[in-house]
């Protein structure tokens, strides 16, 4: 599936997206491009709007050693985003290497922060020009598509920004020197209710996504070239996620002062999830030719799961379960071994010093019978790596595995020589047998939203609103248990009824879990960590639950061992197996909100820096 992107010209991009204090379309004569040429026909208009797709940020395919695994789920060498995120050095993520990086350099592409306001302006320009009458050569349907995409992207970029930075102005018009209503704190009236600050932002996001869903197609024409454009299902999915964040304790506390879930927003979230799930199920069988089909639940069958994350034949990583992602245009050796491409790597496999999974995070992956992993199993060869949830081997390579012609050696001595920090390699974004010596035409992409997340979001919303995991609320069609089971059974894990006793009064040590948590809460939250591992979800979950500070000072650990002098693979000397502390995780109260670029806080007196920064 190739990207359908029409590029107008570099001069057009500069003229239309970087001027803010003059007439936005005061095009210089040398450009020889008129407004009518840009916005007069559907193809040119869509080409201008496609900047919004180009500016998407992939959480793991963004730049030099840049990933969103900054909540303790990974370990990396110093000078990489994982290391600095784990240490709470968010200024580094904002100014050097991180998806929030302000400026571009030769080390990475610009981050979420750098393109945020540019993207909002592009959306508002598109909406303004659609109302101007300039667009002559387009059908009514094409006009709806253009408007739907502009609304979707405005909501999406705000969603990305607000859940990291908190309350910001919701700009819905092209700004000019005369129109600068940029108060950071504000309220929003809707359906007889008043929403404040961050929840007001999310309500505006929901409004845009609701309207976008009515305008965007459920399936784009010519799906092989248009697959990946935002559609009705993506709009409904992000609507559900926006309501989930708005309802969660951190965001509800910021808006209302109550550190708990907002039950009304949870109920709306569950309904939105049902809308998205019902649509996904109705679309089963409509995927482009050559793409793995979805099962009856709209999910990707286990045998085809790798295709959602990585491919080896020059096609986009995608299945119908992936509701949205940033499409890729790099394949083969550069995407496997260049530092600007791969953020999870291991020298033996990819020729890089990059991130591995922390042992703390590996502990979240259950045993095959649904029981929880115990640290004592480190010393039991049959339990350490073998008798685990299928998603363990989906996500990690371990010592002794053969990948193409390479037999992996993760001994302490070899880790030191390779510059690696733990005895695994993150496998999720590597097709089978792909190495630096055998890259094929491979690539990878991080899903920005999967239907699996919507099922688990539904389970959380229903359970936290009603306190029950096995009843169906009025107007809905599943229990919270049903929703979690669809994800667990796909992976081959026992259902909730079998698994739940293993979670009762059994939180993982040194984690965000509490002994007072109901067993189902422990289960669905662990399920999120396992199913959505390394997809840029865990940091957001810990924050919105306001649990991340519980891990402050916890030692992030690695598993080390020595091996015999001969044999393929080298046998582990079992008496040498031990856990070691690598670094203490740092998360203070200020880390619940990303810090603003100081220049932004000086723009208006109302725009104060986030607390603690």
Give bridge partners of residue 579 from the DSSP assignment. Answer: 559
Spatial distance between the Cα atoms of 441 and 425, rounded to a whole number of angstroms: 21
Residue environment code for 563-575, b if the CB has 16+ CB neighbours within 10 A, otherwise e: beeeeebbebeee
Taking the CA atoms of 191, 194, 200 and 202 in sequence, report the sign of the dihedral they define. negative
73-107, pLDDT tens digit by residue?
999 999 899 999 999 999 999 888 788 886 544 44
Contact assessment for residue 212 and residue 157, using Cβ atoms and an 8 Å cutoff: no
Distances (CA, A) of 66 to 129, 344, 399, 592: 36, 9, 25, 20
What whole-number percentage of the chain has pLDDT above 70?
92
pLDDT at 432: 96
Give bridge partners of residue 559 from the DSSP assignment. Answer: 579
Spatial distance between the Cα atoms of 23 and 218, rounded to a whole number of angstroms: 37
pLDDT at 397: 98
Give bridge partners of residue 572 from the DSSP assignment. Answer: 563
The three-state DSSP-derived secondary structure of 243-257 is HHHHHCHHHHHHHHC
534-556, pLDDT tens digit by residue?
999 999 999 999 999 999 999 99
Look over the chain and give the mean of its residue pLDDT values, rounded to a whole number: 91
Spatial distance between the Cα atoms of 211 and 205, rounded to a whole number of angstroms: 10
The DSSP element (H or E) to which 188 belongs, if any, is: strand 187-190
DSSP helix/strand/coil, 447: strand
pLDDT at 18: 36
pLDDT at 367: 98
Contact assessment for residue 235 and residue 213, using Cβ atoms and an 8 Å cutoff: yes
Stretch among 183-187, 257-261, 487-491 having the lowest mean pLDDT = 183-187
Contact assessment for residue 461 and residue 266, using Cβ atoms and an 8 Å cutoff: yes
CB atoms within 10 A of CB 105: 12
DSSP helix/strand/coil, 29: helix
Reported confidence tier of residue 114, pLDDT bands at 50, 70, 90: confident
Residue environment code for 486-497, b if the CB has 16+ CB neighbours within 10 A, otherwise e: bbbebbebbebe
Spatial distance between the Cα atoms of 201 and 242, rounded to a whole number of angstroms: 10
Stretch among 27-31, 141-145, 261-265, 279-283 having the lowest mean pLDDT = 27-31
pLDDT at 31: 55
447-472, pLDDT tens digit by residue?
999 999 999 999 999 999 999 999 99
- DSSP labels, 303-366: GGGGGGTEESBSSPP--TTEEEE------SHHHHH-TTT-SB--HHHHS---BEE-HHHHTTSP
pLDDT at 13: 36
pLDDT of 606 strictly over 90: no
pLDDT at 518: 98
pTM: 0.94
pLDDT of 7 strictly over 80: no
- Backbone torsions φ then ψ of 541, nearest 5 degrees: -65, -50
Q: Dig out the tokens for 189 from the structure.
A: 């009236």
Q: Smallest Cα–Cα separation from 99: which of 73, 63, 54?
A: 63
404-447, pLDDT tens digit by residue?
999 999 999 999 999 999 999 999 999 999 999 999 999 999 99
pLDDT at 122: 97
pLDDT of 112 strictly over 70: yes
139-167, pLDDT tens digit by residue?
999 999 999 999 999 999 999 999 999 99
DSSP 273: H
Distances (CA, A) of 364 to 28, 315, 359, 508: 58, 32, 9, 8
Domain spans in the chain, listed from the N-terminal domain onward = 10-246
pLDDT at 439: 94
pLDDT of 250 strictly over 80: yes
Up-side HSE of residue 94: CA atoms within 13 Å toward CB?
17
Spatial distance between the Cα atoms of 187 and 198, rounded to a whole number of angstroms: 9
Q: Which residue has the higher pLDDT, 591 or 96?
A: 591
What whole-number percentage of the chain has pLDDT above 90?
81
339-382, pLDDT tens digit by residue?
666 789 899 999 989 999 999 999 999 999 999 999 999 999 99
pLDDT of 396 strictly over 80: yes
pLDDT at 12: 33
3-state helix, strand, coil in the chain (%, to 5): 45, 10, 45
pLDDT at 61: 82
12-55, pLDDT tens digit by residue?
333 333 333 233 334 444 456 789 999 999 999 999 999 999 99
Reported confidence tier of residue 62, pLDDT bands at 50, 70, 90: confident
Give bridge partners of residue 443 from the DSSP assignment. Answer: 311
Q: Smallest Cα–Cα separation from 175: which of 130, 103, 117, 114?
A: 117
DSSP helix/strand/coil, 187: strand
The three-state DSSP-derived secondary structure of 109-167 is CCCHHHHHHHHHHHHHHHHHHHHHCCCCECCHHHHHHHHHHHHHHHHHHHHHHHHHHCC
Architecture of domain 10-246: Alpha Horseshoe (1.25)
Spatial distance between the Cα atoms of 453 and 129, rounded to a whole number of angstroms: 35
Parallel, antiparallel or unpaired: strands 443-444 and 310-311: antiparallel
Reported confidence tier of residue 223, pLDDT bands at 50, 70, 90: confident
Spatial distance between the Cα atoms of 500 and 468, rounded to a whole number of angstroms: 13
Reported confidence tier of residue 583, pLDDT bands at 50, 70, 90: very high
Residues 6 or more apart whose Cβ sits within 8 Å of residue 605:
none
Residues 6 or more apart whose Cβ sits within 8 Å of residue 340:
63, 64, 107, 108
């Amino acid at each position: 599936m190739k990207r359908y992107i029409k590029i107008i010209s570099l001069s057009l991009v500069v003229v239309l997206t970087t001027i803010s204090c003059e007439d936005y379309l005061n095009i210089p004569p040398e450009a020889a491009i008129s407004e009518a040429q840009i916005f007069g026909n559907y193809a040119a208009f869509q080409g201008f709007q496609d900047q919004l797709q180009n500016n998407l940020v992939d959480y793991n395919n963004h730049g030099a050693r840049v990933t969103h695994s900054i909540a303790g789920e990974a370990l990396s060498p110093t000078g990489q985003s994982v290391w600095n995120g784990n240490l709470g050095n968010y200024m580094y993520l904002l100014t050097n290497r991180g998806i929030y990086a302000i400026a571009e350099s030769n080390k990475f592409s610009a981050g979420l922060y750098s393109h945020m306001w540019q993207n909002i302006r592009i959306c508002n320009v598109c909406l303004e020009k659609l109302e101007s009458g300039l667009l002559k050569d387009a059908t009514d349907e094409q006009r709806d598509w253009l408007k739907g995409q502009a609304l979707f992207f405005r909501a999406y970029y705000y969603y990305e920004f607000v859940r990291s930075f908190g309350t910001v102005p919701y700009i819905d018009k092209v700004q000019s020197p005369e129109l600068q209503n940029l108060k950071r704190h504000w309220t929003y009236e809707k359906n007889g209710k008043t929403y404040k600050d961050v929840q007001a932002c999310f309500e505006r996001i929901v409004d845009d996504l609701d309207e976008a869903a009515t305008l965007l197609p459920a399936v784009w024409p010519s799906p092989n070239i248009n697959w990946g454009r935002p559609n009705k299902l993506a709009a409904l999915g992000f609507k559900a996620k926006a309501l989930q964040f708005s309802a969660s304790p951190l965001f509800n506390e910021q808006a209302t002062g109550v550190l708990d879930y907002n039950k009304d927003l949870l109920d709306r979230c569950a309904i939105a999830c049902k809308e998205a799930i019902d649509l996904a199920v109705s679309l089963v069988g409509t995927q482009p030719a050559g793409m793995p089909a979805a099962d009856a639940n709209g999910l990707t069958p286990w045998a085809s799961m790798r295709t959602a994350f990585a491919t080896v034949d020059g096609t986009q990583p995608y299945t119908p379960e992936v509701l949205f992602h940033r499409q890729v245009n790099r394949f083969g050796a550069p995407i496997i071994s260049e530092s600007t491409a791969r953020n999870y790597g291991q020298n033996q496999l990819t020729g890089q010093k990059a991130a591995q999974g922390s042992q703390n995070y590996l502990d979240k992956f259950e045993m095959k019978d649904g029981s929880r992993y115990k640290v004592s199993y480190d010393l039991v060869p049959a339990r350490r790596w073998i008798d685990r949830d299928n998603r363990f081997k989906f996500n990690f390579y371990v010592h002794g595995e053969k990948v193409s012609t390479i037999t992996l050696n993760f001994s302490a001595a070899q880790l030191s020589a390779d510059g690696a920090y733990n005895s695994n390699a993150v496998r999720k974004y590597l097709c089978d047998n792909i190495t630096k010596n055998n890259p094929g035409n491979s690539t990878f992409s991080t899903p920005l939203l999967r239907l699996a997340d919507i099922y688990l979001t539904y389970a959380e919303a229903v359970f936290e609103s009603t306190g029950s995991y096995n009843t169906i609320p009025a107007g809905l069609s599943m229990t919270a248990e049903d929703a979690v089971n669809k994800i667990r059974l796909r992976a081959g894990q026992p259902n909730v009824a079998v698994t739940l006793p293993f979670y009762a009064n059994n939180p993982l040590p040194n984690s965000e879990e509490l002994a007072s948590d109901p067993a189902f809460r422990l289960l669905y939250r662990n399920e999120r960590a396992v199913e959505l591992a390394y997809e840029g979800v865990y940091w957001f979950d810990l924050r919105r639950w306001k649990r991340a500070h519980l891990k402050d000072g916890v030692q992030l650990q690695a598993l080390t061992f020595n091996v015999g002098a001969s044999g393929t693979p080298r046998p582990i000397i079992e008496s040498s197996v031990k856990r070691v502390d690598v670094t203490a995780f740092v998360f203070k109260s200020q880390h619940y909100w990303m810090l603003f670029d100081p220049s932004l806080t000086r723009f208006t007196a109302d725009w104060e820096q986030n607390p603690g920064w």
